[in-house]
């Protein structure tokens, strides 16, 4: 269980946090409870999440992996915009190094936008160059299709994949399976449903999820996270929150064991 920093900035992942003191406390408490993987991005805020991480945790514990991503930027009013050119990707890594106050980012994920106008192979080549130069330790990919993932693993070592995946949305199941077979970490985002609306929001309201949580004596959010951990040994969770109470609830999902009835009911939901 890691921690995702996306919810630390203000509403819409833009601007300062709702409660700066609690945001810093969430980061420190997470590490105290064993979190050794924090997922962030310079465009969360922008820069807000990284600056909070630096203030809360620098100098960083030796066992803590800082993982970021490039491939996006924010408009003046918070719009999410693609930033996929080689110069964009390099600038994004440099922004992460500056705001986190580190010499190398342990892993950087390339977030793919279909309408960027830049060939995926060219984007991937830039990430490989940045790794060779020592600015990043490992290359990951995010929001990739099965075809793009196949191109990526044929071209270079990929350490992780971040795609949307949860009890209801299993569109990346084939990618998860390949990651498991290849020893690559799969990092599901929107594990509880999207915070931005759309088709991902019916996870926590599904009757079988509610019934399973009641049977096991856990919250529906905990069950949704536990199901992902139960799904495959290469799943790495990064649930995010700006609340201390929710942080401890989320991390508690790692202690939940699914029974056969719950597992089968949730599997049926995916069908």
What positions carry a catalytic annotation? 44
Among 123, 11, 157, 2, smallest CA distance to 67 is for: 2
Determine the number of helices (DSSP H) and then strands (DSSP E) in the chain.
Answer: 10, 9
> Do the bridges between strand 72-74 and strand 160-164 make them parallel or antiparallel, or are there none, so unpaired?
unpaired
Spatial separation of the C-alpha atoms in residues 6 and 111, rounded to whole Å: 14
Among 133, 112, 134, 114, smallest CA distance to 123 is for: 112
H/E stretch holding 255: none
Which residues does residue 142 pair with via DSSP β-bridges, in sequence order? 111, 162
CA gyration radius for the chain? Answer: 18
């Amino acid at each position: 269980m890691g921690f995702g920093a996306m919810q630390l900035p203000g509403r819409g992942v833009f601007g300062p946090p709702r409660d700066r003191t609690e945001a810093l406390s969430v980061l420190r408490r997470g590490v105290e409870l064993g979190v050794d993987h924090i997922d962030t991005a310079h465009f969360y805020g922008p820069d807000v999440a990284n600056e909070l991480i630096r203030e809360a945790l620098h100098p960083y514990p030796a066992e803590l992996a800082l993982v970021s991503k490039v491939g996006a930027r924010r408009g003046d009013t918070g719009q999410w915009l693609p930033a996929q050119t080689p110069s964009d990707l390099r600038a994004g890594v440099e922004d992460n190094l500056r705001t986190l106050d580190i010499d190398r980012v342990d892993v950087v994920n390339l977030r793919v936008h279909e309408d960027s106008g830049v060939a995926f192979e060219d984007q991937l080549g830039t990430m490989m160059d940045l790794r060779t130069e020592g600015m990043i330790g490992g290359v990951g990919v995010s929001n990739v299709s099965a075809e793009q993932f196949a191109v990526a693993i044929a071209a270079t070592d990929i350490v992780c994949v971040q795609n949307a995946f949860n009890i209801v949305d299993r569109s990346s199941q084939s990618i998860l399976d390949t990651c498991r077979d290849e020893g690559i970490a799969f990092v599901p985002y929107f594990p509880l449903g999207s915070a931005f609306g759309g088709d991902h929001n019916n996870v926590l309201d599904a009757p079988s999820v509610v019934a399973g949580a009641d049977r096991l004596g856990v919250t529906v959010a905990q069950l949704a996270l536990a199901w992902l951990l139960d799904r495959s040994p290469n799943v790495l969770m990064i649930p995010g929150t700006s609340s201390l109470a929710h942080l401890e609830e989320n991390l508690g999902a790692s202690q939940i064991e699914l029974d056969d009835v719950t597992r089968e009911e949730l599997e049926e939901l995916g069908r």
